[in-house]
Amino acid sequence: MRASRMHLCTLREDPADAEIASHRLLMRAGYLHKSGAGLYLYGPLLQRVLAKVKAIVSDEMARAGGLEVTMPIMQEQGLWEKSGRWATYQASRTMLTVKDRSGQTFGLAPTAEEVVTDYAANVVTSYKQLPVCFFQQHTKFRDEIRPRFGLMRVKEFIMMDAYSFHDSDESLDQTYQAMRKAYHRTFRRLGLEAFAVEADSGAIGGSGSHEFMVAAAVGEDTILFNAESGYGANVERAVGRVAPAPAWAAPAAAVRVHTPAVGAITDVMGFLQKNGYADVQPAHGLKCVLFVAKTEKVEVTVAAFVRGDRDINEVKLTNAITRLLGDQGPVLNLRPMHPPEVVTATTAQPGFAGPGAGLTVGLALFDKNTLDADTPYIAGANATDHHLVGFRIARDAAVKLHWDDLVTIREGDGDPQGPGVLSEKRGIEVGHIFKLGTKYSAAMQALYLGPDQKRHPFIMGCYGIGSSRVVAAAVEQHHDADGITWPVSIAPYQVVIVPAGKPGDAAVEEAAEGLYRDLQAKGIEVLLDDRDAKPGVKFKDWDLVGIPYRIVCGRGVATGTVEVKPRGGTNADVPLAEAVGLATTWIQERLAVLHAAAEAVR
């Protein structure tokens, strides 16, 4: 491609609304055009990058046995009602809906379990056809509450989604592991450093799941990990060992203490320290957070308790409530109580809630990691400006006790699997794999005939990679002060030739044209910067765009040499005749490194 014909539109300044590197650089280099909030036009350069990402993703999915299909983006409401998810997605309002001319309502694909399950039910009839895995790479819509960070979180995006069907848990597990391996291979070929962590399965549902994360300071997820044991989990899911609180001089029986105008735990402890309980700390508090949980059928008030120095994990709490509610569930929405609701539930102003007399809630849950039934705590007295000192849950609580895992694990907590300690880092979620079980197939009556001559619901798995998000994550991981430094496997072009002689220098022009022809003949994706611009402008542009290799035909041409330079690396002066060979070799070597990394996945 000749640069004069490719409509390169780089910006010298950062767009005002771009905060993170990928957004900033993709906009500045002309990859992206913002069409609306969370809506982007992918320019010609981005199209090439995306095509390469998609090709690698598809290749690895096919290698793992997947069959590529294309599913409709408009999905009938009826299908979603069969699975029972219409209500969930309407409640969270993540699904965009449209009406056709006859008034029928459709959802715009946020995912495709229903569509693919319906397909499998029709085309897979016998256990002899199992397992099977269908996948696609297609546009998805999610009515994001707040699109942000350029390509990172948008309303319309491209996702690879795969769905597998099985007749046994063992078969599902085999495919799950194959997908896990395929994902690792995919990310290595893409040049991305990604790692898998345990995750909550969220709205998709199911038993097990792992997320694939790209480490990045701007990542929206928090990961807890221990490099030594290999444990890693999203904070939503992470478990760990919390150090016990130190003992303190608690009264034998609970004492009601006047604690004027101090509701926050640290304030309460500060007050008590000055008023007769010198050794109390926040860890001696019994923190009570009040929520309202909604399911399709019921609305229930909930009190959640955790040790005073720790926080409630709302994802864990949601799951715990769902378990308690049984067939009244699942919980579709969980929100903290508004102050007037707190007053109703505790007969006190917010800040003085506790599990003793006076608390009126549907459910009371206690964190089993940080709380003990027979240890003394300082609890709210359900009376404004009063606390109970020396409160013991087993003895003094006036509510039915439910114990579960509710605490948010944080840096410094113990590794659940070994002696080590957990660390924390931020990550961008680029992929997710789930074991779904029979959630969809049972609900939708998607059945196959087994060797026992009976009909069984498919056991399912589902797997996603955010193809367009991967592009943003790649830029986050590969950029410097001058611009993007694409891995060669996904760069829009592999080489750019920059003629840098005086205009009309026939020798320079001839050398550049010759290299251009020869590289094209070798199948290299090559650009020729034939624009009438100063060399400095060209260098800046290609550094920003991120072309991995640059060949400069300049003053050396007179003596028969050109310069070959990797992006961010050092120049090599080589004879004109060797430039094509050297660039080709370097490109192939770098691709080989990525392939070797993929082959090393076990």
Partner RNA sequence: CGGGGCGUAGCUCAGCUUGGCUAGAGCGUCUGGUUUGGGACCAGAAGGUCGCAGGUUCGAAUCCUGUCGCCCCGACCA
Those residues whose C-beta lies under 8 Å from the C-beta of residue 487, and which sit 6 or more positions away, are 190, 191, 192, 474, 478, 548, 590, 594
Three-state DSSP state, 357: coil
Span 67-86, contacts to RNA by CB under 7 A: none
CA 289 to chain centre: 27
* CA–CA distance, 195 with 410 (Å, rounded to integer): 19
Does residue 340 belong to the site contacting RNA (CB under 7 A)? no
Binding segment for RNA (CB under 7 A), chosen from 290-298, 381-389, 409-417, 464-472, is 464-472
CA neighbours closer than 13 Å in the CB half-sphere of residue 353: 27
154 contributes a contact to RNA by CB under 7 A: yes
Choose the binding region for RNA from 112-120, 145-153, 254-262, 440-448 (rule: CB under 7 A).
145-153
Q: 29-42 burial, b if ≥16 CB within 10 A, otherwise e?
A: bbbbeeeeebebeb
Binding RNA by CB under 7 A: which of 54, 63, 138, 148? 148
Q: Strands across the sheet with 74-76, in order? A: 74-76, 105-108, 97-99
3-state secondary structure of 336: strand
**Comparison of 359 and 365: residue with beta carbon closer to RNA:** 365
Number of H helices, E strands in the chain: 15, 31
Asked whether position 145 contacts RNA by CB under 7 A, the answer is: yes
Q: Which is nearer to RNA, 153 or 479 (CB)?
A: 153
299 contributes a contact to RNA by CB under 7 A: no
CB-nearer residue toward RNA: 97 or 129: 97
Contact pick of 66, 191, 390, 466 for RNA (by CB under 7 A) = 466
CB-based contact 196:223 (threshold 8 Å)? no
Q: Under rule CB under 7 A, which residues in 467-486 are in contact with RNA?
A: 468-469, 482
Interface with RNA by CB under 7 A: which range of 12-20, 75-83, 172-180, 484-492? 12-20
**Spatial separation of the C-alpha atoms in residues 362 and 359, rounded to whole Å:** 10
Here the tokens at position 549 are 């290799």
What character string, x for contact with RNA (CB under 7 A) and - otherwise, covers 503-542? x----------------------------xxxxxx-xxx-
Kindly identify the residues of this chain, within the stretch 229-268, that bind RNA according to CB under 7 A.
none
Amino acid at 16: A
Size of the site for RNA (CB under 7 A): 70
Pull the structure tokens for residue 504. 């009309």
- In a 13 Å sphere around the CA of 124, the CA atoms on its Cβ side amount to 29
Q: Which listed residue (76, 144, 530, 578) binds RNA by CB under 7 A?
A: 144
DSSP 326: G
Calculate the dihedral angle through the C-alpha atoms of 542, 547, 551, 554, rounding to the nearest 10 degrees.
0
Among 157, 165, 391, 586, binds RNA (CB under 7 A): 157
CA angle 522, 527, 531 (to 5 degrees): 145
Position among 30, 240, 356, 464 found at the interface with RNA (CB under 7 A): 464
**3-state per-residue secondary structure call for 567-597:** CCCCCEEEEHHHHHHHHHHHHHHHHHHHHHH
Q: Examine residue 171 and tell whether it contacts RNA (CB under 7 A).
A: no
To the nearest whole angstrom, how small is the minimum distance from the Cβ of residue 559 to RNA?
A: 11
Task: Choose between 74 and 537: whose C-beta lies nearer to RNA.
Answer: 537
Q: Quick one: 96 or 262, whose CB is closer to RNA?
A: 96
Q: Which stretch binds RNA (CB under 7 A): 28-36, 56-64, 340-348, 378-386?
A: 28-36
- Nearest CA-CA partner of 332 in 322, 342, 324: 322
Count Cβ atoms below 10 Å from residue 591 Cβ, excluding itself: 16
- Residue (21 or 268) nearer to RNA, CB: 21
- Report the residue number, 202 or 514, with the smaller CB distance to RNA: 202
Collapsing DSSP to helix, strand or coil, 154 comes out as coil
Residues 173 to 212 in contact with RNA, rule: CB under 7 A: 202-204, 211
Minimum CB distance to RNA, residue 505 (Å): 8
Q: How far is the CB of 596 from RNA (least distance, A)?
A: 26
Q: Which of 365, 465, 474, 576 binds RNA (CB under 7 A)?
A: 465
Q: Does 115 bind RNA (CB under 7 A)?
A: no
Helix (H) or strand (E) holding 186: helix 169-189
- What beta strand segments (E) does 493-558 contain? 495-499, 526-528, 549-553
Interface contacts to RNA, rule CB under 7 A:
10-17, 19, 28, 34, 36-38, 92, 94, 111, 142, 144-149, 152-154, 157, 159, 202-204, 211, 220-221, 314-315, 429-432, 464-466, 468-469, 482, 500-503, 532-537, 539-541, 543-544, 552-556, 563, 565, 571
